[in-house]
């Protein structure tokens, strides 16, 4: 009888331990996914660079950051590598107060919006609020046009017209893969997608 009771208690104790472990794991998962941090990734209206968007988004989400994708309109955006991406909001609807970081994503379509006044205004607003302002590939030109790269080390896609624009706007151009200059972070192109995403995720 005593042995029977002892066996029952042992089983119950084992179940309790398992329950505690599961509870701790659930709690940790809850904490990692509920940091209250958020980021908005801005893509052009067409020909976004698929990897730059997906790798950056994945890295941030794995760090527990809520990600919103914005574009000039709510129409689906075609990727240079064949993807299709539907924005959550349009650029005009971005409220800098709601996000900790803005990431400007590149692709061939960036040439159509790198001087867009609404886009530039949003980027400047993030900077004015002390938020993280980041860009990859040709989208570094958006930061340059917003006046944020003067005297700042930055990189971009290795295409002379973009490099020339950065230099014209006062950037200290470098061909490094990823450059962290305070709260401004830039990546040099598709090959930088993973390290750029990791650099952003590391902020959280």
156-204 tens-digit pLDDT? 999 999 999 999 999 999 999 999 999 999 999 999 999 999 999 999 9
Higher pLDDT, 30 or 131: 131
- What does the alpha-carbon distance between residue 192 and residue 56 come to, in Å, rounded to a whole number? 10
Residue 4 has pLDDT above 50, yes or no: no
Q: Give the tokens for residue 51.
A: 């990897």
pLDDT at position 159 is: 97
- SS3 helix, strand, coil % of the chain, rounded to 5? 45, 20, 35
Mean pLDDT of all residues in 138-155: 98
For the chain, what is the mean pLDDT? 87
Q: Give the tokens for residue 188.
A: 């040099």
Q: Give the tokens for residue 78.
A: 């075609």
pLDDT at position 120 is: 98
pLDDT above 90 as % of the chain: 83
- Using alpha carbons only, how large is the chain's radius of gyration in Å? 22
Mean pLDDT of all residues in 64-81: 98
- Sorted by sequence, the CB contacts under 8 Å of residue 9 that are 6+ apart come out as none
Residue 51 has pLDDT above 70, yes or no: yes
Residue 115 has pLDDT above 80, yes or no: yes
Residue 1 has pLDDT above 70, yes or no: no
- What does the alpha-carbon distance between residue 32 and residue 29 come to, in Å, rounded to a whole number? 5
The answer to whether the pTM exceeds 0.85 is no
Higher pLDDT, 52 or 25: 52
pLDDT at position 33 is: 42
Residue 24 has pLDDT above 50, yes or no: no
Q: Give CA separation, 21 vs 16, 24, 31, in Å.
A: 9, 5, 15
pLDDT at position 5 is: 43
pLDDT at position 102 is: 98
pLDDT at position 199 is: 98
Q: Give CA separation, 114 vs 6, 29, 108, 165, in Å.
A: 73, 38, 11, 11
pLDDT at position 20 is: 32
Mean pLDDT of all residues in 138-146: 98
Residue 131 has pLDDT above 80, yes or no: yes
- Sorted by sequence, the CB contacts under 8 Å of residue 139 that are 6+ apart come out as 42, 104, 105, 106, 110, 114
- What does the alpha-carbon distance between residue 32 and residue 62 come to, in Å, rounded to a whole number? 9
pLDDT at position 46 is: 98
């Amino acid at each position: 009888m005593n042995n029977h009771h002892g066996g029952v208690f042992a089983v119950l104790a084992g179940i309790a331990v398992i329950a505690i472990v599961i509870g701790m794991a659930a709690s940790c998962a809850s904490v990692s996914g509920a940091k209250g941090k958020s980021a908005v990734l801005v893509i052009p209206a067409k020909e976004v660079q698929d990897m730059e968007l997906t790798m950056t988004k994945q890295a941030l989400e794995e760090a527990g950051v809520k990600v919103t994708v914005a574009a000039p309109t709510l129409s689906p955006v075609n990727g240079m590598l064949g993807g299709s991406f539907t924005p959550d909001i349009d650029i005009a609807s971005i409220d800098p107060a709601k996000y900790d970081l803005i990431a400007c994503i590149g692709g061939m379509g960036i040439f159509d919006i790198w001087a867009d006044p609404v886009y530039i205004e949003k980027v400047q607003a993030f900077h004015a609020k002390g938020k993280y302002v980041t860009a990859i590939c040709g989208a570094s030109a958006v930061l340059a046009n917003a006046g944020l790269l003067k005297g700042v080390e930055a990189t971009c896609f290795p295409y002379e017209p973009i490099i020339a624009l950065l230099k014209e706007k006062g950037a200290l151009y470098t061909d490094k893969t990823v450059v962290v200059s305070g709260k401004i972070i830039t990546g040099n192109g598709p090959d930088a997608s993973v390290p750029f995403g990791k650099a952003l995720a590391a902020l959280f």
